[in-house]
Amino acid sequence: MHANGPVTHGVIDAIPVKLPGLRVVLTFLLGAGVFCATSLAASGAPGSETPAKDAAHVDFVGAESCATCHEAVAKGFASNPHTKMALMHGNGNVTCESCHGPGGEHVAGGGDTTKIFDPAKAATKDVDEKCLSCHAGAHPNFARSPHAKAGVGCISCHDIHNSKEEPLLKAAQPGLCFQCHTDTKPQFAMPFHHKVNEGLIQCSDCHDVHGTFEENNLKSTADQNAICTRCHTEVRGPFVFEHAPVKAEGCMACHTPHGSQNARMLNMPTISTLCNQCHSPVAAATVHGIDAGSASATPCISCHTMVHGSNVSQAFIR
């Protein structure tokens, strides 16, 4: 029963970390866990003077005890990923008390609701801390995320006991996101858009809602292009002749990410206005001998077909 406390946490901590070194880390922590268990058992022996540790353990009653009064919740929990994963590692469960804290006083009080940690009533930050005590490995940047800063916590999006959506979500994407991001929703209904509503790609292909080092929760470690070129490999380069803004300013110099009124999700209604933001129409006219600024002119990309960069032409001509 004592093993349900911090000792189990130490071991589980490593599980969500999906890194190559996982096995090494896990082995190490398992070792550490056994060591801790041994030392805790020793310090808990009669005559030992460590009341703090005793107090932390004495209150755990075990999941079987919770089940006697919370039968429905406990049943649902048997098919919950928290239990499955813990069993897989043969290592005791993530139990009720891993999240709700020691239940001894709650049980002794016949279900005294003031003596149990109830995430639904607790401060967002305290709940997040509890979850992150195990999940910080996979989500180390949550505290710096715009969500955390705005007080959107784990259980704003996740539902531990009643979820019907993987992974333990309150609702599936993109509906979950649109509950709050009502401004974003219409962008995906524009004539040209990434097919998120159609299920072809997901918000989380580009964003990590748990926080990143980028603006807008964007997934990428190096430059903003990385998320886009993960799928659009043909524009990734490197090219012998790079079009400077593709690398310097990124895809957003010319495209919108969600949706647009303009074909190819361009951020300008005509090609010439797009190009002429940076290329002076006067200069272009001089070079081409055409009224490059007018909409009736041959679109720039009729000739400059390789606008993302080229291996053969400095002027991006085929």
Is the distance from CB of 163 to CB of 170 less than 8 angstroms? yes
- Measured from the CB atom, the residue of 42 and 232 that comes closer to ligand HEC is 232
**Contact pattern for ligand HEC over residues 209 through 248, marking x by CB under 6 A:** xx-----xxx------x-xxxxxx--x-------xxxx--
Counting contacts by CB under 6 A, is residue 280 touching ligand HEC? no
- Measured from the CB atom, the residue of 51 and 289 that comes closer to ligand HEC is 289
Counting contacts by CB under 6 A, is residue 81 touching ligand HEC? yes
Is the distance from CB of 57 to CB of 70 less than 8 angstroms? no
**Contact pattern for ligand HEC over residues 97 through 136, marking x by CB under 6 A:** xxxx--x--xx--xx-x--x-xxxx-----xx-xxxxxx-
Cβ contacts of 242 within 8 Å, gap of 6 or more: 309
Counting contacts by CB under 6 A, is residue 258 touching ligand HEC? yes
Q: Find the part of the chain contacting ligand HEC (CB under 6 A) among 25-33, 34-42, 49-57, 182-190.
A: 182-190
Residue keyed to tokens 């002076």: 280
Residue keyed to tokens 């206005």: 273
Tokens of residue 154, six digits:
């784990």
* Count of CB atoms situated within 10 Å of the CB of 198: 9
Counting contacts by CB under 6 A, is residue 5 touching ligand HEC? no
Is the distance from CB of 304 to CB of 316 less than 8 angstroms? yes
Q: Which of 30, 156, 190, 239 binds ligand HEC (CB under 6 A)?
A: 156
- Measured from the CB atom, the residue of 44 and 169 that comes closer to ligand HEC is 169
* Count of CB atoms situated within 10 Å of the CB of 97: 24
Counting contacts by CB under 6 A, is residue 294 touching ligand HEC? no
Counting contacts by CB under 6 A, is residue 58 touching ligand HEC? no
Counting contacts by CB under 6 A, is residue 144 touching ligand HEC? no
Nearest to 127 by CA among 107, 167, 157, 95: 157
CB neighbour burial string for 279-290, b if at least 16 within 10 angstroms, e if fewer: eebeebeeeeee
Counting contacts by CB under 6 A, is residue 7 touching ligand HEC? no
Q: Find the part of the chain contacting ligand HEC (CB under 6 A) among 24-32, 33-41, 43-51, 258-266.
A: 258-266
Tokens of residue 251, six digits:
């895809």
Tokens of residue 296, six digits:
């009736």
Counting contacts by CB under 6 A, is residue 190 touching ligand HEC? no
